Structure 1
Amino acid sequence: MENHSPAHRLFLIGSEASAAMSPGLWGPVLEQLGSSWTYEAWDVPAGQDMSGVRASMLESDVVAANVTMPHKQWAAATADTVTEQVRVSGASNLLVRQGRRLSAHNTDITAVAELLGGRHQRHALMLGAGGAARAALVALAGLAERVTVTDKDPRASQQLLDLAANLGMEATAVTWTEAREHAPGASLIVNATPLGKSRADAPAWGPAALSPDAFVYDFVYAGHTTATIAAARAQGLPCADGWDHLRAQAAAMIPVLGLKPETAALLGRALTDIRAGN
């Protein structure tokens, strides 16, 4: 017999979902809203058959799922309907169940666009070429004159170059060493790698001083200020860190999920509390 219980379950799907911040962020916020919704971590290893994940997403008590590494491209491909941002980027970080169909969204792109504020970029340097980098690249469409890409996986770099070409952007792939040589001349540095998770990590671009007009965007959030952000601040440069991104992408979910307007303020306070506890 089909389960007709009200939809109330939200998930985070990722290879290390249980170690992520989102469940600890959304749980208290949903409780303060007086919502019956719950938010659960769902660890799904890379390379796993995803047919069971999709089937579980279609159960009648599921509202939606955030999707993180390495399944953002799967999320875009498995959805029945996609937003224009998902269609262009080929990645989704939010699947919303609509009956027996899944709708794919990408609030990462919304977040990057908000935090970059529509600034023109003469040269964007992308460190990493995964889902986060794809979101940043789409957010930069029409704003960046030139893009330089590096990733340890040449296939990922090529995929990002293909996306840039589709967006009408001039982009080239370089080695990690070459990327660090490009850093001092870039107007935007995007760290879409795990560098910074460890306190021992150096700034993602290395020791070089950056251009006075540079903006540093670091997707990493940690219990400490990453070396990438610390170096940017020491040089007096504007920056956005992983906590800023987490807040902005979560806030972008509010209208998609039909949550109350006060959710944004609750998210901000919850993030402040979590960060203080780290």
Structure 2
Amino acid sequence: MSIEILSRDAAEAGTGPDLMRFLGVTTSQSSIHALFPRWARALGLPAARLVGQDLPLDSPPEVYRAAVAELAADPHTRGALITSHKTGVHAAASDLFDELDDYARLCGEISLVTKRDGRLAGAARDVVTAARALREILPPGHFARTGGHALCLGAGGAGLAIAVVLLERHTDRPGRLIVSDVLPERLRKVREVAAALGAPVEVRCVPPGDDLPAGLPAGSLVVNATGMGKDRPGSPIGDTALFPREAVVWELNYRGPLTFLRQAGRQAARRGLRVADGWRYFLHGWADHIGGVYGTSIGEETFARLDTIAHTSGES
């Protein structure tokens, strides 16, 4: 099965050995296409190029297998970043990989694909990049100081990764972790992962509901990890839903209608909310995955340079 290439002409895309693929839903709209060439030059990768590939949400297994097989067979492709299809690729095509990292096996998802010495490797890097972004959003000792809980709306790849981040924190864990999703199988996966990690945090897996944020104590963390507001319209909560006072509200999306972000913004002043969008998560995620594909270390100093480039590009 051929995959539609959106960001460049298909003929041009096959001319170089340093191609990185980007599997998503609306890849041509991503700000990474403006950032990638500048980041590549800064990282000493002038020949690196990015090609976006769109697949429908919840594609059938044969589509995911075809995408992985095509990536593996293409001698010009070094690897890929996968966004909305992380769990689908793992479920349908994990047997096509020569190796998977610990988080890929634990979470049942693949976000990073690399090719080294003829071997295809898959990794789940959302846990790492979400942890980096969350450190910037939550003040030190936040949960210990506030007694807040955490509510993750959505238990797909990003939502599950954030759950793992919160459960693996050695200190300053939330008093309770609540995860909601429309798909029972995703909630079952959260329970399985929580049991495997054995963290001393109560984990509740529940169906969506507008009353979920309002039932949280002050200072709680509320995350939209559903993809609604970017890949799909709307928000996981209604306009009448009330956020807890002094909550930290994190919208993982940085582009699109951002309905959830706007809902939080309307309550920010009177409820004392701290509201963050997904721009920093986007930067951390892409920097980490580009480094993984091209075998380039992205430390704090290097990321700071990439961050400066992003802020001067007009994309933020």
- TM-score, with normalisation over the residues of structure 2? 0.72
**1:109 match:** 127
Are the equivalent residues in 1 in contact too, given 2:132–2:284 (CA < 8 A)? yes
Aligned to 2:100: 82
Match of 1:141 among 159, 164, 167: 167
In structure 2, do the counterparts of structure 1 residues 44 and 224 end up closer, same or farther at CA, with 3 Å as the change threshold? closer
Aligned-partner SS, 1:176: coil
- The list of structure 1 runs, each at least 4 consecutive aligned residues, that deviate by more than 6 angstroms after superposition, is none
Cα pair distance change 1:71/1:203, threshold 3 Å: closer
Check whether the contact 1:254–1:264 (CA below 8 A) recurs between aligned residues: no
Does the alignment pair 1:124 with 2:150? yes
Counterparts of 1:190 and 1:66, CA distance in 2: 22
Question: CA 1:197–1:216 in structure 2 vs 1: closer, same or farther (change >3 Å)?
Answer: same
User: Offset of 1:244 from its aligned partner?
Assistant: 1.1
Quickly say closer, same or farther: Cα 1:79–1:124, change in 2 above 3 A: farther
Relative to structure 1, the CA distance from residue 27 to residue 183 in structure 2 (aligned partners, 3 Å threshold; closer, same or farther) is farther
Are the structure 2 counterparts of residues 204 and 186 from structure 1 closer, same or farther at C-alpha, using a change threshold of 3 Å? farther
Q: Secondary structure at the match of 1:147?
A: strand
Q: 1:176 aligns with which of 190, 208, 212?
A: 208
Give yes or no for the alignment of 1:47 onto 2:47: no
Partner of 1:211: 245
Distance 1:202 1:6, change over 3 A: closer
1:21 to 7, 31, 39: 31
Question: Which residue is 2:192 aligned to?
Answer: 162
Relative to 1, partners in 2 of residues 1:34 and 1:115: Cα closer, same or farther, differing over 3 Å? closer
Q: Is the 8 A contact 2:208 2:236 kept in 1?
A: no
Structure-2 change in CA distance of 1:250 and 1:207 (3 Å)? same
Amino acid at match of 1:137: A
Name the stretch that deviates more: 135-144 or 12-21. 12-21
> Counterpart amino acid of 2:36?
W
Contact 1:123–1:187 (8 Å) recurs in 2: yes
Aligned residue runs from structure 1 range 217-232, under 5 A: 217-222=250-255, 226-228=261-263, 230-231=265-266
Asked whether 1:264 is paired with 2:277, we answer: no
SS of equivalent residue, structure 1 residue 36: coil
Task: State the partner residue of 1:65.
Answer: 80
Cα 1:254–1:202, aligned 2, differ >3 Å: closer, same or farther? Answer: closer
Segment of structure 1 superposing worse, 40-49 or 113-122: 113-122
What one-letter code is carried by the residue in structure 2 that aligns with 1:248?
Answer: H
Gaps of 5+ in 1: none
The one-letter amino acid of 1:27's match is P
- Corresponding residue number in structure 1 for 2:8: none
Cα deviation per residue 1:231-253 (whole Å; 9 max; x = unaligned)?
A: 57534444442101001112323
Asked whether the equivalents of residues 124 and 148 of structure 1 are also in contact (C-alpha less than 8 Å), the reply is yes
Counterparts in 2 of 1:254 and 1:41: CA distance versus 1, 3 Å:
closer
**Number of residue equivalences:** 271
**1:37 counterpart residue number:** 48
CA distance in 2, matches of 1:12, 1:6: 16
Q: CA deviation at 1:219?
A: 0.6
- One-letter amino acid of the counterpart of residue 207, structure 2: T
CA–CA distance in structure 1, aligned partners of residues 188 and 21 of structure 2: 31
Deviations 1:76-99 (A, max 9, x none): 824322222222222221111113
Residue identity matched to 1:272: H
Q: C-alpha separation between the residues in 1 aligned to 2:289 and 2:267?
A: 29
Q: Verify the 8 A CA contact 1:218 1:229 in the aligned structure 2.
A: no
Counting aligned pairs with the same residue, the percent is 25
CA–CA distance in 2 between the matches of 1:51 and 1:223? 29
Unaligned runs of 5+ in 2: 1-14
CA RMSD of aligned residues (A): 3.3
- 8 Å CA contact 2:149–2:221 kept in 1: the answer is yes
What is the alpha-carbon distance in structure 1 between the residues aligned to residue 308 and residue 115 of structure 2? 28
